[in-house]
A = this chain, B = another copy of it.
Amino acid sequence: MSAESSEASGRPGSAWDGEGPAPQRWDEVDRLVSAWRHERPDLDVSPLEVLSRVTRLARHLDRARRTAFAERGLETWEFDVLSALRRAGTPYQLSPGQLLTQTLVTSGTMTNRIDRLAAKGLVVRGPDPNDRRGVLVRLTDSGREVADAALTSLLKNERELLAALPDRRLGELADLLRELTVQFESE
């Protein structure tokens, strides 16, 4: 990647040419990148234009979800697990290992999560009939209700966050992000 990327001009909104709509507002990452270009003009910091925004946006999302779920007495991590089981379809059960790859946590964390969800009666742990090492985690009726209700309100919130962009651009954004994620999932 060269230093002549679309952001090299030092202002946001690569497509703006002085006419048409005003340029977008600066965000924290614009300030961050601009500061680095001043302090370290020897480095090409353009990767941060994308990756710092991903990290920061994820943190904002995390906060928004945390407070939204909290109103329903639900923790974000609880939804992560319950929703994975819910969308697996009947009989709504997965192994801890499958849950790991879907939620991107370590096995110790997942054991702990399952324990607490089981204590709340949202899931039950059972043996895997085909592998005596294995365990199958299954959603209870109560857990399914919680997952369904939470998904509906999550989507409502997230739709509002995306209202700033038309569908066509959201599709482009999804495609661009996919190209970055596939690298992490290839093994």
| Chain A contact residues, CB within 8 Å of chain B | 1-2, 4-7, 12-15, 24-25, 27-30, 32, 35-36, 38-40, 43-51, 53-64, 86-89, 101-102, 104, 148, 151-152, 155, 158-159, 161-165, 167-186
Measured in the bound complex, the distance between the Cα atoms of B154 and A10 in whole Å is 21
CB neighbours of A171 from chain B (8 A): 5-7, 14, 49
B4/A167 in contact, CB under 8 A = yes
A107 to B180, CA, bound (A): 33
Tell me how far the C-beta of A153 lies from the nearest C-beta in chain B, rounded to whole angstroms: 11
A175 to B46, CA, bound (A): 13
**6 chain-A/chain-B pairs, Cβ below 8 angstroms:** A27-B185, A46-B167, A47-B155, A48-B155, A54-B54, A164-B180
